[in-house]
Chains A and B, each alone.
Chain A
Amino acid sequence: MSFTDKDLVTMESIIKRYPRSRSAIMPLLHYVQSLAGYVTNEGIELIAKLLELETAEVTAVSTFYTQYKRKPVGEYHVGVCTNTLCAVMGGDAIFAGLKEHLGIENDGVTTDGKVSLEHIECNAACDYAPVVMANWEFYDNQTVESAKDLVDGMRAGNPPVPTRGPNSLVTWKEASAVLAGINDGKAHEGLQAGAPTLLGLKLSKEGK
């Protein structure tokens, strides 16, 4: 793929955030992922050129972190938490159910390119277990059925709204741009907190 002048301007602005340019590797990798859907060889070469590094140095960083993909994922990347607490609470059943429903294995992509599946580690939402993430947005308190509805919605082009996230689910590329630090204007959307987050405060107001 080729990069436009606008892409280059954005990448230069990302580099300028830091006192030392090498620190920009990670947001630049997120940015390249937002353009191509994954970290392409061309993306790595461009980052190396911009930061005056060897491509091997950029590749070494990109392969260390699991969020950087070296091959295309789906338009919607679904992560099922199967760390202990979520797994016990139903994450294992959800992951098995989705694999069967979609006909793909861990790290697989559906043939229509819409959905990819990955089992993920603890995503800091244990009070909402079992948790499913889609493009790293929260889908709290899932069941096997609700997770199947979620991926069916994705394949039909109308995924359900995240539980604690924007008013509609953005695509994998759009989410990657947010992770590169680009403001998509959706910060004000969605809940400030779910019910479990507020439970202690609520009980305190009741005198506990």
Chain B
Amino acid sequence: MTKLAPVLSAHWDEKDSFTIEAYTRHGGYKASKKALAMDPDAVIQLVKDSGLRGRGGAGFPTGMKWGFIPQGDNKDHYLVVNADESEPGTCKDTPLLLANPHVLIEGCIIACHAIRAKHAFIYIRGEVTHVVRRLNQAIEDAYKAGHLGNGIELVLHVGAGAYICGEETALLDSLEGFRGQPRLRPPFPAIAGLYARPTVVNNVESIASVPAIIENGAEWYQAMGTEKSKGTTLYSLSGHVKNPGQFEAPLGITLREILELSGGIRSGHTLKFWTPGGSSTPLFTAQHLDVPLDYEGVSAAGSMLGTKALQIFDETTCVVRAVLRWTEFYKHESCGKCTPCREGTWWLVQILRDLENGKGSEADLAKLLDLCDNIMGRSFCALGDGATSPITSSIKYFRDEYIAHVTQESCPFDPVASTLFEGASK
């Protein structure tokens, strides 16, 4: 049985955990002091050795990303933290920043030193007023304490409600003051990112993981997790479970283990389907309870670790309704730049809506899969690809349920049964 391993979340239960006093009380800002005394290349090497990989979904090795920044090029370099947490089901960076914004600031200082950047930006989504307050105050306090302002400037940039800005090049366009639309790659941000300068874009959790790695060493971090997925990470459990919440564990823990230690599915019900890492990662079912939740394990089972957003749905949930709603989301959030995504998601919604309302036909399933085939890999960015994941995976595992909507000419489910307040076990 894998044990939980709180590192990022270790002091969240102290009422003042978000203050600079609490952070320094637990040794905060020691790691940045240590890192600033090191050669920048040695910092990059240490992060490479730790095995830390991106926690925003793609899992790219963080140290290697830092190493791509050209050195001695006499250009400004930038660090940009992606705090635009918007992937459906994903809810880890927001509580992290509410409980401990200083760990991200310290991580920024270390990363800036490593990549020889004098300027860092945190791009946070705009729909979280109190998180913005906390982070803004923390930055002010870090300036007052002299952690910032002595060669490293940090600016908080608040978004305004666009999922696409979580895509790193759309985020950069948005930060430059344009509509948030993805850029053609190459050139990659490491060569031409913000203001066409070498730029590292990292997720909040990736950067927040760095201070502990500097403080405790690469070997300490390496000792946790699995062969190619090192360290601890935040798993976010939500939906039809007894006790939803954040669980920080070594990479490779299974959903079965997380359910066992947290209390399981809500009583009287059974697991039907779940997402391992947000709505853009193909659905899993009860047959995947023992899949190790690390980058390789989830991928080998046909999905993606993504953001480790474990959204749990029990047998009361209509999978067609669930998938329709996600598809409406992708249609709404499509930036409109490329045709497959802009037009494709629109058609997907039309067909799924008919199916859910009992007005579809069996031929619609083939049409859905054909549309997905034309969106996947042909869109400008991963938003279009992600839009196809819930559809193709749900047809794979629940084809009969789609057909039942057609033969019955209506949805066979009662939406009331799946609500928290009406459908809870009697």
Contacts and interface: CB of A to CB of B under 8 A. Distances in A.
* A and B from one complex: yes
Interface stretch (B10-18, B216-224, B293-301, B356-364): B10-18
Contacts of A183: 133, 136-137, 140
Given A85-B239, A125-B91, A180 B326 contact: no
A30 B47 CA distance: 37
Interface string A1-22: 0000000000000000111101
Interface string B149-193: 000000111111111000000000011111110000000000000
Nearest to A17: B155
A22 B172 CA distance: 12
Interface string A174-207: 0100111101101110101111111111111000
B134 A66 contact: no
Interface in A89-132: 89-90, 92-93, 120-130
A199 B247 contact: yes
Given A60-B179, A67-B127, A89-B239, A121 B419 contact: no
A196 B246 contact: yes
Nearest to A24: B177
A65 B162 contact: yes
B386 interface: no
B14 A192 contact: yes
A65 B195 CA distance: 21
A193 B245 CA distance: 11
A126 B313 CA distance: 13
B104 to A, nearest CB: 15
Contacts of B76: 19
B93 to A, nearest CB: 7
Interface of A: 17-20, 22-27, 29-30, 51, 60-61, 64-68, 79, 82-85, 87-90, 92-93, 120-130, 133, 135-138, 141, 143-144, 162, 164-166, 170, 175, 178-181, 183-184, 186-188, 190, 192-204, 208
The 3 closest A-B pairs by CB, nearest first: A199-B245, A187-B137, A65-B160
